[in-house]
Structure 1
């Protein structure tokens, strides 16, 4: 019993989830700005650096959450849910950064309308992720729990939208007369961008489980 009393209780996990969610939304908006100003190398570099900065700041929060898990005796929600949620959130920013790097490393010359569309869906997904994790501290309120589940449904629908856009984009790639190297580059970018919404859906699935167990 003494051992339990000496160890921290609760921790500030919800605050860290919220801070991480803000970095996800910031990184997504920076990525979309980079895509929108892709032809301007100066702005492209500026927004790419903002994506990197958001990812690094989120990484520090992820490490702190995992460290705190080992020091906290009683957590506000299940330990596995905390671990799974923060790492799923971190995967989103990792993919945003990877997408930015792929476009640079592959020396993509121009972005297509489908890249812009997938970027827009990614931003909306990421903003929904930020919103839903901000609701976690108040899940005991039925109205908040309901709002969280509705937001998870929105993320699921956006993920389906991203799937449809990517399938259409892939069809165009192989149907239109596109130079082979550009085809390979765009295919890789499409796959990375579609994966962002997949990772947002992973977060939504975890949050749904938390809501159902704790509301």
Structure 2
């Protein structure tokens, strides 16, 4: 009986996942508002700060998850899955911050249609990640598990769309951009934005793995 009282419980991993996913979506929305209002310096800086704040808040959740892993004996899903999932999620918000900082450091003057489109796809991916993560706690239900897999498939499709936009953007950039400095700047930004959807796909793959192992 005493051992049962001393044994660490499973912790609030699912709640922490949901908190982190909310910060991902918050960061993605702020990023979109930043690039949509890029010509307004005041709004640009306001939304850039919101992206940074979301990333810092997400970092705190990641640290809490990793701390709990060291303290918790019984976890709701495999320990490696928890570790892999929270770190893959953290990569998403890190990339949002990286893209924001790159635009500031490179002194990008205006947004292209391709940046806007890649940003939109990234934001949609982040929203679907949040939805998929919200289903983790109820995967024992068949309908929830099916909904999670469907959401992961939607993320995969969005990532494929981002790949196509990226290839088209790169082709146009190297054909039409005559200023080498602008070419280098935009190439870096396109690559970072496409990487966001890649990391969202990584999260989707991990969630699909959790579904398969728990169905």
Structure 1 residue 18 corresponds to structure 2 residue 18: yes
Structure 1 residue 65 corresponds to structure 2 residue 69: no
Question: Normalising by structure 1, what TM-score?
Answer: 0.98
Supply the RMSD in Å over aligned alpha carbons. 1.2
Q: What residue number does 2:128 align with?
A: 128
8 Å CA contact retained: 1:7, 1:71: no
8 Å CA contact retained: 1:4, 1:73: no
SS in structure 2 opposite 1:95?
A: helix
Structure-1 separation of matches of 2:92 and 2:101: 14
**Greater Cα shift, 171-180 or 145-154:** 171-180
SS in structure 2 opposite 1:121?
A: helix
8 Å CA contact retained: 1:139, 1:214: yes
**Cα deviations across residues 121-175 of structure 1 (Å, max 9, x unaligned)?**
0000000000000000100100000000000000000000000000000000111
* Counterparts of residues 110-121 of structure 1 (less than 5 Å): 110-121=110-121
Q: What residue number does 1:34 align with?
A: 34
SS in structure 1 opposite 2:110?
A: coil
Q: What residue number does 1:101 align with?
A: 101
Q: What residue number does 1:78 align with?
A: 78
Q: Which runs of 5+ in 2 are unaligned?
A: none
Q: How far off its partner does 1:7 sit?
A: 3.0
Structure-1 separation of matches of 2:182 and 2:29: 25
8 Å CA contact retained: 2:177, 2:183: no
Structure-1 separation of matches of 2:209 and 2:4: 27
